[in-house]
Amino acid sequence: MAFLKAISPQHDLHREKRQDLVQGVPNQQEETPREKVRAKSYGPVTRFLIWWGRNPIFLYILHLILLGLVQLPGAAWWYSDASPLLVAFQFTLIMVLLTGIAHLLYKRHIVISL
């Protein structure tokens, strides 16, 4: 128990913020725009999910349309008998298009809902 007394108390950041708010000193996080704080607090994978989650039904319908366009040519080598390299290319193209559209909608603050 004696060793606990020897350790100096850590700086309590939350207590300092509460005291600043009580004393009327503006909080630094309130001065920055909400989007910048949000963008800094999430990692790249989470940001990707946020973009997709803003308009999920629209992206789902767009995904079905893109899959229909991929199947449209009707050639077996293009869809059902496609090589793994062609499948990887088609998958990458569809994901890049959908993610680009999701990012564009997110940046322009467009929400498409029912």
Q: Assess whether 58 and 112 both reside in one domain.
A: yes
Answer whether residue 1 is part of any domain: no
73-108 per-residue burial string, b: 16 or more CB within 10 A, e: under 16? eeeeeebeebeeeeeeebeeebeeebeebbbebbee
pLDDT digits (tens, 9 = 90+) for 34-90: 555 555 566 777 888 888 899 999 999 999 999 888 888 778 888 778 899 999 999
Answer whether residue 59 is part of any domain: yes
pTM of the entire predicted model: 0.59
Q: Is the predicted pLDDT of residue 4 greater than 50, yes or no?
A: no
Residue range 25-42: mean pLDDT, rounded:
54
Q: Assess whether 106 and 51 both reside in one domain.
A: yes
Q: Which of 12, 112, 114 is nearest to 53 (CA)?
A: 112
Q: Assess whether 47 and 97 both reside in one domain.
A: yes
Range of the domain at 28: 13-41
